[in-house]
Amino acid sequence: MPVLAAQTLLPVTATLGAALLVLLVAAAATTAVFRLSPDGSRARAREVAVAGVRATAQLAAVSLLIGWVVRHVPALFAFLLLMFAVATRTAGRRITPNGTWWWAAVPLAAPVAPVVAALALAGLVPVRGIAMIPVTGILIGGALTATVLAGRRALDELRTRHGEFEAGLALGLLPHDARLELVRPAASDALLPGLDQTRTVGLVTLPGAFVGMLLGGASPVQAGAVQLFVLVALMAVQAIATAVTVELVAHGRLHREEPPEATAPGSPRAAAGA
């Protein structure tokens, strides 16, 4: 019955492949035509296309690999570390182009590691790939989204309101406090996607965990309980990730300043700006 339900929902046929291709082309074309890039160019259309192709390749590889990973605990933890490393690189490079990007690992690990460890110790999530991978992946994904949004908004705010930061220093505020006053309100917007998803669940959307449980044969009550847990856990993870990101920016660990050698006399960047 679950297999039949899954096949009815999205049968894996040539029609599905054609539909995916059309949707990807539509997304890239819309991004290009309306120039939905920070600099008003068509550059982000290429990112959309590449993201779709990468997702196809990555999911194909994971689909082949997952059956082996779930049966071997060492491979399971290696796969979880890979997920974390990719999330750190993705979040860090979205926030800043300089060498401080690796600090993005902190707001990812700070909420996810203790939550997953507590769930495993409490017996709510068994240490098996079939349960550990999707739960950890959902939590890392939520922390990734919050970290990127909080980091980008915070650093954008510092750049546009740098004069206010300097004024705070002139009034005697410590650099940490002056930054914090500016970035905290803007970075708090990172919580909005999770809040909206939780507030509208069941009324606007039926999230993936709920639908997946139903297709797997679970009762609606059990599927609802699992989905509720996922949403509440995501809010906790995203709140912690946002708070840690704000502190990293306020302490100057995450920033967009150029390294000294990039602007030193005689360097290519300095020569270009002369």
| pLDDT confidence tier of residue 243, bands split at 50, 70 and 90 | very high
φ, ψ of residue 185 to 5 degrees: the values are -60, -40
pLDDT recorded at residue 28: 95
Burial 121-148 (b: 16+ CB within 10 A, else e): eeeebeeebeebbbbbebbbebbbbbbb
pLDDT recorded at residue 67: 76
Does position 74 have pLDDT exceeding 70, yes or no?
A: yes
pLDDT recorded at residue 261: 52
pLDDT recorded at residue 50: 95
pLDDT recorded at residue 225: 86
Compute the average pLDDT of residues 179-188. Answer: 94
In sequence order, the 6+-apart residues with CB closer than 8 A to the CB of 182 are: 157, 158, 161, 164, 165, 168
Answer yes or no: are the C-beta atoms of 219 and 98 closer than 8 Å.
no
Gap between the Cα atoms of 59 and 57, Å rounded: 6
| pLDDT confidence tier of residue 260, bands split at 50, 70 and 90 | low
pLDDT recorded at residue 10: 67
Compute the average pLDDT of residues 27-41. Answer: 92
- Which is higher by pLDDT, 262 or 43? 43
In sequence order, the 6+-apart residues with CB closer than 8 A to the CB of 241 are: 107, 108, 110, 111, 142, 143, 146, 147, 150, 190
Gap between the Cα atoms of 108 and 99, Å rounded: 17
- Which is higher by pLDDT, 221 or 27? 27
Q: Which of 261, 249, 236 is nearest to 95 (CA)?
A: 249
The domain segmentation of the chain, as residue ranges, is 14-69, 73-257
Answer yes or no: are the C-beta atoms of 151 and 254 closer than 8 Å.
yes
